[in-house]
Amino acid sequence: MRHVGIVTGAGSGIGAACAQQLAGTVDVLLLVDLDEAAVNARAAALAGRGAACEPFVADLTDGLAVADLAARSRARGTLRSVVHAAGISPTMGTWRRILEVDLVASARLVEALRPLATTGTAIVCFASMAAHLGMDPSRVAAEAVLDDPLADGFLEAYCAAVGETARDPGTAYAWAKRGVQRLVGREAITLGRAGARICSISPGMIETPMGRREFEQQPLMQALKDVTPLRRMGRADELAAVALFLVSDDASYVTGADILVDGGACAAVATMR
């Protein structure tokens, strides 16, 4: 049986770096992105690197597209590795779009791929250090809402639980990524029964189109970089190396965990507090 890998957000940044690393580990690699030109270029660049790379153009907030992706994966073979790196950051959308792309679409993708999971299947989702850096006191109520992102009325319930800052894109991003960490914890219990695993990675400031954009537009980023013990932004290939480890058999006892890959930024902030 052929082994299938899926990388979302494969057209840019961390997803592109993950696609490059995963191409040597599976027979078929589905490269997913809503940017058609970028994902086609990535598939062309990876030709001859091992896996047969197939571009799959989709907006992951579209439930039908996600169902098609699961069907394509099933048709190609046994699902082995999934790296879900598609996402948007605070300066890239409204609070509503951020929650839909970063949390609701993640939950829908995990739900659609669940029936394909079998012994050895491993999934990595991308959260963020934003979900580690300071949450407000409404956390308990908000987390209960975050735990059901596919419920009718989810966005309204989120606004009610988080309160007046809920519609701030930065706040929505942090809560969406907190929701991803919690999704991974819950899903690990379900997937474990099939011998499958799921983890999240929380990146710090990473040199990608998204990371550079946030750095340029958010004044706090320079201060955060200054206190980061490694004194620099991370590289996409440094995140891809961790993702590759987590989907490999070397990580066969790691599941339900969030791995912080931030150059020590959160540790430095916690120590200063």
Nearer to ligand NAD, 38 or 78 (CB): 38
Q: Which two tokens stand for residue 152?
A: 């009718």
Choose which of 14, 109, 146, 172 interacts with ligand NAD (CB under 6 A). 14
**Does position 258 bind ligand NAD by CB under 6 A?**
no
**Does position 208 bind ligand NAD by CB under 6 A?**
yes
**Does position 13 bind ligand NAD by CB under 6 A?**
yes
**Does position 206 bind ligand NAD by CB under 6 A?**
yes
Non-local CB neighbours of 163 within 8 Å, separated by 6+ positions: 136, 138
Q: How far is the CB of 200 from ligand NAD (least distance, A)?
A: 10
Question: Which residue has 């407000």 as its token pair?
Answer: 136
Conformational region of residue 163, where left means phi above 0, alpha means psi within -120 to 50, and beta covers everything else: left
> Which of 253, 254, 249, 240 lies closest to 83, judged by CA?
240
Q: How far is the CB of 193 from ligand NAD (least distance, A)?
A: 27
d(CA 113, CA 138): 32
Nearer to ligand NAD, 58 or 198 (CB): 58
**Does position 89 bind ligand NAD by CB under 6 A?**
yes
R_g of the chain, CA atoms, integer Å: 18
Choose which of 30, 82, 83, 88 interacts with ligand NAD (CB under 6 A). 88
> Which of 98, 160, 105, 106 lies closest to 130, judged by CA?
98
Q: What is the DSSP letter of 58?
A: -
Name residues contacting ligand NAD, limited to 35-64 (CB under 6 A): 35, 38, 58-61
**Does position 128 bind ligand NAD by CB under 6 A?**
yes
Do 89 and 102 form a contact (C-beta atoms < 8 A)? no
Q: How far is the CB of 60 from ligand NAD (least distance, A)?
A: 4
Non-local CB neighbours of 149 within 8 Å, separated by 6+ positions: 99, 103, 104, 106, 107, 179, 183
Q: How far is the CB of 133 from ligand NAD (least distance, A)?
A: 11
Q: Which residues pair with 22 in a beta bridge?
A: none
Nearer to ligand NAD, 17 or 78 (CB): 17
**Does position 209 bind ligand NAD by CB under 6 A?**
yes
Q: How far is the CB of 169 from ligand NAD (least distance, A)?
A: 12
Non-local CB neighbours of 170 within 8 Å, separated by 6+ positions: 90, 130, 218
**Does position 211 bind ligand NAD by CB under 6 A?**
yes
Q: How far is the CB of 126 from ligand NAD (least distance, A)?
A: 4
Q: Interface residues with ligand NAD (CB under 6 A)?
A: 9, 11-15, 33-35, 38, 58-61, 85-89, 101, 105, 126, 128, 203, 205-206, 208-211
